[in-house]
Amino acid sequence: MKILVCISKTPDTTAKIAFTDNNTKFSEAGVQFIINPYDEWYALVRALELKETQGATVHLITVGGADTEPVIRKALALGGDEAFRVNADSTDSFYIASQIAAHAKQEGYDIIFTGKETIDYNGSGIGGMVAELTGLPFVSIASKFDLNGQTATLRREIEGGEEVCEVDLPVVVSCQKGMAEARIPNMRGIMAARTKPLKVVEPVAADSLTAIVSFELPPAKAGVKMVPADNVEELVKLLHEEAKVI
């Protein structure tokens, strides 16, 4: 069995967000970068669990410059077997998905895992686009993935509940909380990752369908109005008369 896990480099969850170049570029000054949590904690770890229980080769792919390599080395340290870096820089989901789909078609995977979204651009588009471009079925926002032979049973989120569904491999799945528990790479994994293959491939020709024009930071709050703890009636009155939310 061959599994592909799509990895994105994102700012750490505690990173302070700021912009440069007249609010057109994310400021990387002082920012720590991590594997996008959904890609790491759920997509990658579930792939590694399948590798351990059923036997599988786990490939990793990222689309980005050389600065993404520390992040992909960490994914190798966690237990990925081989990594591919498509040497291109883009914020357009369709362009990125086109790169991943081109690689996937060439290699042929049984399962392609992505995170449900990245915590930087929050596009949540890569899984669905890769499914469309490879012609595979797509299950979105899955919290559970079990495999019985060639049939996967998944649990996925729907409005106001959950759904259990079945699909035959190959399949594309976007992963969220519940799929697996986060792991920390051990020293052996970190040492092994140094010599695991990380292949740099040049991008295929693909269109970009969107472009970020500018960024904005949200307006600052006007300030908090404190209500004494022994006067909750005052809070109810404010919520009704001033804020008009109840």
Partner 1 sequence: MSVIIFADQFEGKIKKSALEAVQYGAKVARQTGTTATAVVLGEVGAEELAVLGQYGATKVLHAADARLNEPEAGVVTKVLAEAVAKENAGIVVFSHNFSGRAVAPQLSARLKAGLVAGAISLPDMANGFVVKKNVFSGKAFANVNITSEKKIISVLPNTFSLEPGSGTASVEAFSPAVSDADFRVKVVKSETISGEVPLTEAEIVVSGGRGLKGPENWALVENLAHALGAATACSRPVADSGWRPHHEHVGQTGFTVRPNLYVAIGISGAIQHLAGVNGSKVIVVINKDPEAPFFKAADYGIVGDAFEVVPKLTEAVKKYKGN
Cβ closest to partner 1, residue 20 vs residue 52? 20
Cα–Cα distance for residue pair 237/235, rounded to 1 Å: 5
Contact call for residue 14 and partner 1 (CB under 8 A): yes
Contact call for residue 127 and partner 1 (CB under 8 A): yes
Query: With contact defined as beta carbons under 8 Å apart, do 121 and 91 qualify?
Result: yes
Contact call for residue 232 and partner 1 (CB under 8 A): yes
Q: Which of 108, 150, 162, 197 binds partner 1 (CB under 8 A)?
A: 162
* Stretch of residues binding partner 1 (CB under 8 A), selected from 1-9, 43-51, 163-171, 183-191: 163-171
Query: With contact defined as beta carbons under 8 Å apart, do 77 and 185 qualify?
Result: yes
Cβ closest to partner 1, residue 76 vs residue 129? 129
Q: Which of 5, 20, 166, 175 binds partner 1 (CB under 8 A)?
A: 166
What three-state secondary structure class fits 167? strand
Cβ closest to partner 1, residue 12 vs residue 67? 12
Cβ closest to partner 1, residue 159 vs residue 202? 159
Cα–Cα distance for residue pair 100/86, rounded to 1 Å: 8
Cα–Cα distance for residue pair 54/101, rounded to 1 Å: 25
Torsion of CA 112, 114, 116, 117, to 10 degrees: -140
Binding mask 130-149 for partner 1 (x = CB under 8 A): -xxx---xxxxx-x------
Q: Which of residues 28-67 bind partner 1 (CB under 8 A)?
A: 37-38, 41
Contact call for residue 200 and partner 1 (CB under 8 A): no
Query: With contact defined as beta carbons under 8 Å apart, do 109 and 2 qualify?
Result: yes
- 111 alpha carbon, distance to own chain's centre: 16
Contact call for residue 227 and partner 1 (CB under 8 A): yes
* Stretch of residues binding partner 1 (CB under 8 A), selected from 68-76, 184-192, 193-201, 234-242: 234-242
End-to-end CA distance of the chain: 55
